[in-house]
């Protein structure tokens, strides 16, 4: 396997070879590459050029490359192929979870066509079963391929069965133990099995401490469980406890990446998952709700400022620090909310730690507010500002920093309690409200202090 770098010269050379039907040279190029590298090449080719490459690859490599493609590219490519080719050249060579993910991107009629061309009825049934689960649940993540043994089996019986099952499993992480009804009982250590007498049964040596999830558990919770307990595979059970599949770490990494992308987009004021290749309308639809909220917030903010028009007319120097107050409130609020959202996402913020976290954020807010207000106080004194303006800006900055920090802490907790993604709190939601309330605090303090000190 080589360290691949895609260049324009490489693509031009490859296209020249494809145009000349030089199958031998193309095959030599492809056999050195990882499936992910070949998928990267696909994005630079036409459908016909890509199809020429695909039919030069062996079935296993072709299936791996298909799973590495971007969803839009994969849909376009599959749309150019007959259902029989998809079934026998791709789906039949994949793990059941990857096959279900890819079929799930097709419409219902095309799914049925592809499934009808799979020769192994059991495989087709497993994939059809996985298609019934929501893609954002444990059932939608799991694969059917695993190794399981029954608790009343002897060691020789286990070994014979495991050899047969291992043919369908790429990576053996755990051997699962079930009873006669298929209920998950625990896991079996390969080392302990090999060191045990041949006449001993599985129930005498298996480990009962096994962590599992039910099929309807949300994918984000699955990710948190595997991260918390440092698992490379997680068994999935049905509502009565029967073992129905397993989730491996590579699937959870995909979930983590998707959740991170979604949270980043929410924090940036984008309400739905979008890709760079999506249409202008989809991008507009994803962005306009938060832009509308920002517009409404701006109107309210201007009304707040307008309500203090008289004091601004009397002391126009107050307008010099409006941007500073608004910016500091937004920045502090986003910092606090980001920390809480991160804790909620990782599952490290439980009921017993919430109040401690809130107290800590309050102390941090007080310390930051004190430092920042002293700095602005010093700046204004050096700049020759009057005592009323100096005191107003310092007191307002102190108050706004404390408020923004507490609001940024409470907002994601409240949203999480309301079953709304708390990542919303790290975006325009916190920024807009902090702007409005920050301006109100600033001018209210100005009214009071200028009346006393000016």
- The string of pLDDT tens digits covering residues 315-333 is 888 888 888 888 888 788 8
Buried b (16+ CB within 10 A) or exposed e, 311-332: bbeebeebeebbebbbebbbeb
73: domain CATH number is 1.25.60.10
pLDDT of 404 strictly over 70? yes
Q: Are residues 204 and 129 in the same domain?
A: no
411 and 373 Cβ atoms separated by less than 8 Å:
no
Can you tell me the mean pLDDT for 87-94? 86
Rounded to whole angstroms, the Cα distance separating 118 from 85 reads: 10
Work out whether the CA dihedral 152, 156, 161, 163 comes out positive or negative.
positive
Q: Are residues 180 and 230 in the same domain?
A: yes
Q: Specify the number of domains making up the chain.
A: 3
Can you tell me the mean pLDDT for 262-278? 58
Domain-located, residue 344: yes
Q: What confidence score (pLDDT) does residue 31 get? A: 81
Give the rounded percent of residues in the chain with a pLDDT score beyond 90. 25
| Domain end residue (candidates: 122, 141, 160) | 141
pLDDT of 281 strictly over 80? no
Rounded to whole angstroms, the Cα distance separating 249 from 245 reads: 14
Q: Which two tokens stand for residue 72?
A: 């839009």
Q: Which two tokens stand for residue 236?
A: 């999935």
Residues 6+ apart with CB under 8 A from 182: 242, 243
Q: Are residues 51 and 188 in the same domain?
A: no
Farthest-apart Cα atoms in the chain, separation: 96
Q: Are residues 325 and 197 in the same domain?
A: no
Q: Residue for token digits 């097709």?
A: 106
Domain-located, residue 399: yes
Q: Which two tokens stand for residue 178?
A: 């079930």
Domain-located, residue 3: no
218: domain CATH number is 3.10.580.10
Q: Which two tokens stand for residue 95?
A: 């793990």
In 3D, which of 221, 220, 222 has the Cα closest to residue 245?
A: 222
pLDDT of 89 strictly over 80? yes
Q: What confidence score (pLDDT) does residue 137 get? A: 92
Domain-located, residue 263: no
> CB pairs under 8 A, 24+ apart, for 101-108?
101/67, 101/135, 102/66, 102/67, 102/74, 102/78, 103/127, 103/131, 104/131, 104/135, 105/71, 105/74, 105/75, 105/78, 106/75, 106/78
Count of Cβ atoms closer than 10 Å to residue 175 Cβ: 22
- The string of pLDDT tens digits covering residues 16-54 is 988 998 888 888 888 888 888 888 888 888 888 888 888
Q: Which two tokens stand for residue 258?
A: 């998707």
In which element (H, E) is residue 248 found?
strand 243-248
Count of Cβ atoms closer than 10 Å to residue 124 Cβ: 20
427 and 267 Cβ atoms separated by less than 8 Å:
yes
364 and 406 Cβ atoms separated by less than 8 Å:
no
Rounded to whole angstroms, the Cα distance separating 29 from 38 reads: 10
Q: Which two tokens stand for residue 248?
A: 């491996």
Q: Which two tokens stand for residue 163?
A: 């050899």
Q: What confidence score (pLDDT) does residue 142 get? A: 93
Task: Tell me how far apart the terminal alpha carbons of the chain are, to the nearest angstrom.
Answer: 76
| Domain end residue (candidates: 84, 116, 141) | 141
- The string of pLDDT tens digits covering residues 121-155 is 888 999 999 999 998 899 999 999 999 999 999 99
Domain-located, residue 410: yes
- The string of pLDDT tens digits covering residues 172-183 is 889 999 999 999
The CA-atom distances, in angstroms, between 82 and each of 95, 333, 427 are 21, 54, 45
| Domain end residue (candidates: 248, 263, 293) | 248
Q: What confidence score (pLDDT) does residue 347 get? A: 61
Q: What confidence score (pLDDT) does residue 276 get? A: 59
Q: Are residues 54 and 79 in the same domain?
A: yes
Q: Are residues 361 and 385 in the same domain?
A: yes
The mean predicted confidence, pLDDT, of the chain is: 84
Q: What confidence score (pLDDT) does residue 180 get? A: 92
433 and 408 Cβ atoms separated by less than 8 Å:
no
Q: What confidence score (pLDDT) does residue 395 get? A: 93
Can you tell me the mean pLDDT for 82-100? 87
Domain-located, residue 336: yes
Helix axes 219-228, 249-267, angle to 10 degrees: 120
Domain boundaries, position 176: 147-248
> CB pairs under 8 A, 24+ apart, for 120-125?
120/92, 123/92, 123/96
Can you tell me the mean pLDDT for 211-215? 95
Q: What confidence score (pLDDT) does residue 147 get? A: 93
Count of Cβ atoms closer than 10 Å to residue 344 Cβ: 18
Q: What confidence score (pLDDT) does residue 149 get? A: 94
What is the model's pTM? Answer: 0.66
Q: What confidence score (pLDDT) does residue 55 get? A: 84
398 and 388 Cβ atoms separated by less than 8 Å:
no
Residues 6+ apart with CB under 8 A from 375: none
Q: Are residues 63 and 105 in the same domain?
A: yes
117 and 84 Cβ atoms separated by less than 8 Å:
yes
235 and 184 Cβ atoms separated by less than 8 Å:
yes
Q: What confidence score (pLDDT) does residue 269 get? A: 52
Domain-located, residue 53: yes
Can you tell me the mean pLDDT for 62-87? 86
> CB pairs under 8 A, 24+ apart, for 22-30?
23/56, 26/53, 26/56, 27/56, 30/56, 30/57, 30/61
Q: Are residues 112 and 181 in the same domain?
A: no
Q: Are residues 133 and 151 in the same domain?
A: no
Domain-located, residue 405: yes
Q: Are residues 176 and 320 in the same domain?
A: no
Length of the chain: 454
Q: Are residues 237 and 334 in the same domain?
A: no
Q: Are residues 391 and 439 in the same domain?
A: yes
Q: Residue for token digits 């802490």?
A: 409
In 3D, which of 168, 208, 175 has the Cα closest to residue 194?
A: 175
- What angle is formed at CA 266 by the lines to CA 264 and CA 267, rounded to 5 degrees? 65
Q: Which two tokens stand for residue 93?
A: 């060579």
């Amino acid at each position: 396997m080589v360290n691949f770098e895609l260049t324009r010269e490489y693509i031009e050379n490859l296209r020249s070879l494809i145009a000349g039907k030089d199958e031998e040279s193309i095959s030599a190029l492809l056999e050195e590459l990882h499936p992910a590298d070949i998928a990267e090449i696909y994005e630079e080719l036409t459908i016909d050029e890509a199809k020429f490459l695909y039919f030069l690859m062996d079935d296993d490599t072709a299936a791996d490359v298909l799973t590495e493609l971007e969803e839009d590219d994969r849909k376009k490519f599959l749309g150019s192929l007959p259902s029989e080719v998809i079934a026998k050249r791709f789906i039949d060579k994949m793990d059941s979870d990857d096959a279900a993910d890819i079929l799930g991107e097709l419409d219902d009629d095309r799914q049925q066509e592809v499934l009808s061309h799979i020769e192994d009825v059991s495989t087709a049934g497993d994939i059809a079963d996985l298609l019934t689960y929501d893609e954002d649940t444990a059932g939608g993540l799991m694969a059917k391929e695993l190794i399981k043994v029954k608790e009343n089996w002897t060691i020789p019986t286990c070994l014979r069965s495991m050899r047969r099952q291992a043919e369908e499993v790429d990576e053996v992480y755990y051997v699962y133990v079930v009873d006669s009804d298929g209920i998950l009982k625990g896991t079996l250590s390969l080392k302990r099995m090999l060191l045990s007498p041949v006449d001993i049964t599985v129930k005498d040596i298996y480990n009962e401490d096994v962590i599992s999830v039910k099929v309807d558990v949300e994918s984000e919770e699955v990710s948190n469980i595997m991260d918390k307990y440092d698992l490379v595979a997680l068994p999935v059970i049905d509502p009565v406890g029967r073992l129905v599949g397993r989730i491996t770490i590579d699937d959870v990494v995909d979930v983590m990446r998707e959740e991170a992308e979604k949270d980043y987009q929410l924090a940036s004021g984008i309400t739905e998952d979008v890709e760079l290749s999506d249409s202008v309308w989809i991008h507009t639809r994803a962005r306009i709700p938060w832009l509308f909220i920002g517009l409404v917030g701006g109107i309210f903010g201007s009304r707040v400022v307008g309500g203090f028009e008289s004091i601004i007319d009397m002391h126009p120097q107050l307008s010099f620090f409006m941007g500073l107050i608004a910016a500091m409130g937004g920045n502090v609020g986003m910092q606090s909310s980001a920390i809480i959202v991160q804790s909620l996402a990782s599952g490290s913020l439980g009921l017993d730690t919430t109040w401690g976290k809130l107290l800590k954020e309050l102390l941090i807010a007080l310390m930051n507010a004190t430092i920042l207000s002293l700095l602005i106080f010093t700046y204004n004194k050096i700049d020759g500002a009057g005592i009323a303006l100096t005191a107003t800006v310092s007191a307002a900055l102190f108050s706004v920093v404390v408020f923004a920090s507490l609001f940024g802490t409470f907002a994601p907790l409240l949203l999480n309690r309301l079953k709304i993604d708390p990542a919303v709190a790290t975006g325009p939601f916190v920024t807009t409200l902090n702007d409005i309330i920050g301006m109100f605090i600033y001018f209210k303090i100005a009214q009071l202090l200028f009346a006393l000190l000016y």
